[in-house]
């Protein structure tokens, strides 16, 4: 590797501000904030809004809609329109068959 062109790779504390959860990992993030960690050392601090401790997907608070529920909701929403279209198609077919019968006579 060429010297002087790569960012500094160091240990950084990431803190979830919504759940007061924090962890140390290595990163190239540049930050002005610093915090003293449990081991007594001072590390750069990066504040996060969401981590695995607070995100609904990881905490199990996420609600999922099943596919059958989505299909059923769609069918209910457009059931009236479908009935109108089917009634119009049936009426048109009846008129066409009636016209066909009259042409044969």
Report pLDDT digits (tens) over 12-61: 999 998 888 999 999 999 999 999 999 999 999 999 988 878 777 767 77
Instruction: Say which DSSP state 64 is in.
Output: -
Determine the pLDDT at residue 62.
Answer: 62
Element containing residue 24 per DSSP (H, E): strand 21-27
d(CA 54, CA 57): 9
What's the rounded mean pLDDT across residues 64-75? 70
**How big is the CA angle at 60 (ends 55 and 66), to the nearest 5 degrees?**
110
């Amino acid at each position: 590797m060429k010297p002087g062109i790569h960012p500094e790779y160091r240990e950084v504390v990431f803190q979830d501000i919504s759940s007061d959860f924090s962890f140390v990992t290595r990163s190239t993030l540049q930050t002005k904030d610093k915090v003293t960690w449990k081991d007594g050392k001072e590390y750069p601090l990066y504040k996060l809004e969401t981590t695995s401790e607070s995100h609904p997907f990881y905490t199990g608070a996420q609600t999922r809609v099943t596919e059958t529920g989505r299909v059923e909701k769609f069918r209910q929403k457009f059931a009236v329109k479908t009935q109108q279209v089917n009634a119009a198609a049936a009426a048109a077919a009846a008129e066409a068959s009636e016209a066909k019968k009259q042409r044969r006579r």
